[in-house]
């Protein structure tokens, strides 16, 4: 048992993934991101909501539970999806409005007889962090760590609204 915990700790230390809170559905559009996030750590922001959450740079041999949150940062667990075999994953809001305010993940382990068992903290995250990067629709990225909290909050809000502003611009061009 301790051997598997040691291997899990080494795998976690070897690499972590990025969680991107995306303005548009299907993991498109502008985003704010937490880079190099470890398992059971939630990436989220209060007040600002997003339409999809991208999980990027996943080692292909990892079996994960991807978690989504709503209600401000990582307050309320919204859903859990199982993921394996690919290096990127996307959880997209089925509605036409944004509700996701955070995302996280944990490993899925397997007991001897093939009975799946999740990490002990599958119901919630052990810790929570705010995004450290913002990338606007034009592809220009910003390091949120270098900004004061009011400026970082404004940029996160602007990032979330980018898809709405883009749509409004297209509608106004039609007139």
Q: Is residue 158 part of a domain?
A: yes
Domain residue limits at 88:
2-169
Higher pLDDT, 162 or 53: 53
Query: Can you tell me the distance from the alpha carbon of 120 to that of 114, in angstroms, rounded to the nearest whole number?
Result: 17
Q: Is residue 51 part of a domain?
A: yes
Q: Is residue 164 part of a domain?
A: yes
Q: Is residue 8 part of a domain?
A: yes
Q: Is residue 174 part of a domain?
A: no
Domains contained in the chain, number: 1
52 Cβ neighbours under 8 A, 6+ residues apart: 22, 24, 25, 26, 27, 28, 90, 91, 92, 93, 100
- Is this prediction's pTM over 0.85? no
* 32 touches 15 (CB < 8 A): no
Tens of pLDDT, residues 101-128? 999 999 887 654 455 544 434 356 788 8
Query: Can you tell me the distance from the alpha carbon of 126 to that of 113, in angstroms, rounded to the nearest whole number?
Result: 28
Tens of pLDDT, residues 150-170? 887 777 777 776 654 444 444
For residue 133, count CB atoms less than 10 angstroms from its CB and return exposed for 0-12, middle for 13-18, buried for 19 or more: middle
CA-wise closest residue to 55 among 77, 35, 72 = 35
Structure tokens at 34: 């937490």
Q: Is residue 175 part of a domain?
A: no
């Amino acid at each position: 048992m301790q051997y598997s915990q040691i291997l899990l700790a080494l795998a976690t230390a070897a690499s972590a993934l990025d969680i991107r809170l995306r303005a548009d559905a299907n993991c498109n559009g502008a985003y704010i991101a937490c880079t190099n996030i470890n398992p059971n750590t939630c990436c989220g922001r209060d007040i600002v909501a997003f339409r999809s959450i991208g999980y990027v740079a996943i080692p292909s041999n990892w079996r994960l539970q991807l978690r989504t949150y709503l209600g401000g940062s990582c307050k309320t667990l919204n859903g859990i999806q199982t993921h394996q075999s690919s290096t990127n994953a996307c959880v997209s809001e089925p509605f036409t409005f944004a509700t996701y305010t955070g995302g996280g993940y944990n490993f899925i382990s397997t007991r001897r007889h093939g009975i799946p068992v999740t990490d002990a903290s599958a119901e919630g995250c052990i810790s929570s962090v705010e995004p450290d990067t913002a990338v606007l629709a034009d592809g220009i990225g910003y390091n949120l760590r270098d900004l004061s909290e009011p400026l970082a909050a404004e940029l996160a809000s602007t990032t979330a609204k980018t898809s709405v502003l883009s749509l409004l611009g297209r509608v106004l061009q039609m007139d």
